[in-house]
A and B are shown apart, each in its own frame.
Chain A
C-alpha cells in the first residue's frame, strides 16, 4: 500500500490576490486581473498585445531590497508563495534531510537573462553582474526555496512549459511515496511579462489581441475567444506524508490522491486534436488514485482561451469521464487571472484544493456565448456548491512540447 499524501499548506501570489485568502475570495467573486500595460517597453517595441495580468501584489512590497536584487522576479514570486505555504502548514520543526522541494517554472529567469544581455551590449562584460547565471537558471526558484526553508532532501525543478506546476505535484507525490521525503514544498513560479516572450507568443497567434478590453480578453469556451492572456505569479503547496501530518496534529486540507504525466509525441505546440495524450493523463491520474468517474465532481480545467486548445481538453474529459462529465462542475480560472504558464498548475492546484475543502467551485468569467462544440457544465456567475460526502476534483495542465499533467484531489 502506497503512503498516503496530504496537503497541509497553501501559498500563492497571483494577478487576483497576493495571498491565498485574497485569491480565493476573488476566485469566488469573479474578477479580472488583466489590465492595460503601462510599461515603457510596450510603446518602445510597438507590441501587438498591450495588456497582461500582472501580480496584484508586487514582490517588492513583500521582500527586502537585498532579496529583490539577488533573485530573478520568478524566484521572488516563488519565495513569497512558499513562505506563505510554509507558515500555513504550521510546521515548526522538520527533519531537514527528509524535506524536499519540487518547484517548477516554464521559462525561468528571462528578465535576468535579457537584462544582462542588454548590459553586455551597452556597457561591456565588466558590468554584467556576477549573480546573473545563478539568477537566470531555471532551478533558481527551487534552489531559493530550498535555501530559504532549509529543505535538504533535494531541490527539484520540473520544466514542462505550462504543465510544469502540475508536474511538480506529480514529482512531490512520487518522492513521498517512494520514501525519499516526508514533506515536499511543491509549486510553480513564472515572471515572463517581458517584451520578448510577449512578442513570441503574439507572433504565434497564441495571445488574445483584445487590446481595447483586457478585462474581457480571457474567455475560455466562448465562441469569441481569441487567445490567452499572459499572467505571472506563483503557487505553492506543502505535501506531507499522512502519518507525518497526523503525528503533529496538522490541519489537512485534502488528499493528493493521484497524479500523472504523459506526452503527446504529436506536435511541439499544437495539442493532439483528439486529446489522446490528455485522455491518457486523466485516466492514469484516476487509476493512480483509485478513482472512478462517479467520484469526480469538479474539474479545474486548463482552458487557456485559445481557439485550438479548449476543445481537445473537452474531448479528453469526455473520454475519461464518460457520461459523468455532464454533472461535473467545470471552472476555467484562467478567465480571471490569465495564464501563469509554469505557475498555472500550482496556482490552479491551490484553487482545486480549496474547492474540495470548501465545497465550492470558483467562477468562470467572460463566458457569454458558449462554444457549442464544448458542452461542458461551466460554473459561471456565482460559485457552485459541491456535494457532501467524499469527493474528488481534477486539475489539468498541458504545455508546449506535448506535456500533459493531471492531479486528483480527494476530500478528507
Chain B
C-alpha cells in the first residue's frame, strides 16, 4: 500500500492555513531524519520504510517522533509509533493530527 501513497492524492491545505501541507510535512520530516541520522533529505520518500529502507533503529525513531511532535505541534502517542512503518504513514498521521 505504501507505494501507492503520493503527495498529489492528499487534499491540499487551504491557503494561509497554519497547518502544514503534506509536502511541507514530508520536507520537515526529511529534515528531522537528516538531522538525526545523516541521511540525505531526498532519501526520505513517502514509500520508504523507516526500519527496512532507512535503517532507523527504535531509539532514533523515538527521537524523530519527539522532534516531529515539536515541529508540527502534534501528539504522537507511544503506542502509535509502531504503526508508523513508512514515511507516508507518519506524514498522514501528522496531517490528520493537525486537522
Contacts and interface: CB of A to CB of B under 8 A. Distances in A.
A130 B36 contact: no
Interface residues of B, number: 10
Interface in A124-141: 126-127, 129-131
Given A131-B59, A131-B63, A126 B37 contact: no
B78 to A, nearest CB: 10
A194 interface: no
A130 B38 contact: no
Nearest to A123: B70
B23 interface: no
Contacts of B36: 66, 69
Interface in B17-53: 35-38
B63 A129 contact: yes
Nearest to A69: B36
Contacts of A66: 36-38
Contacts of A131: 59, 63
B69 interface: yes
A66 B59 CA distance: 13
Interface string B49-76: 0000000000100110010011000000
A127 B63 contact: no
Contact of B66 (A64, A65, A69, A127): A127
Nearest to A128: B66
A131 B69 CA distance: 18
Contact of A65 (B38, B59, B63): B38
Nearest to B37: A66
A383 to B, nearest CB: 43
A312 to B, nearest CB: 47
Interface in A243-281: none
A64 B38 contact: yes
A133 to B, nearest CB: 11
Contacts of A130: 59, 62-63
Contact of A126 (B35, B38, B66): B66
A60 to B, nearest CB: 14
A127 B62 CA distance: 10
Contacts of A69: 35-36
Interface string A89-133: 000000000000000000000000000000000000011011100
B32 to A, nearest CB: 12
B41 to A, nearest CB: 13
A178 to B, nearest CB: 36
Interface in A298-341: none
Contacts of B38: 64-66
Given A65-B38, A66-B36, A69-B36, A126 B59 contact: no
A126 B63 contact: no
A349 B1 CA distance: 60
A66 to B, nearest CB: 4
Contacts of B63: 129-131
A66 B60 CA distance: 11
A72 to B, nearest CB: 15
A275 B38 CA distance: 52
A233 to B, nearest CB: 25
A365 to B, nearest CB: 41
A184 to B, nearest CB: 29
Interface in A55-78: 64-66, 69
A66 B57 CA distance: 14
B49 to A, nearest CB: 20
Nearest to B67: A127
Interface string A31-72: 000000000000000000000000000000000111001000
A130 B69 CA distance: 15
A234 B37 CA distance: 26
B46 to A, nearest CB: 23
B58 to A, nearest CB: 8
14 contacts: A64-B38, A65-B35, A66-B38, A69-B35, A69-B36, A126-B66, A126-B69, A127-B66, A129-B63, A130-B59, A130-B62, A130-B63, A131-B59, A131-B63
Please provide the 8 A-B residue pairs with the shortest distance between their CB atoms, ordered closest to farther.
Answer: A66-B38, A130-B59, A130-B62, A131-B59, A66-B37, A65-B38, A126-B66, A129-B63
Given A64-B38, A65-B35, A126-B66, 14 more contacts: A65-B38, A66-B36, A66-B37, A66-B38, A69-B35, A69-B36, A126-B69, A127-B66, A129-B63, A130-B59, A130-B62, A130-B63, A131-B59, A131-B63
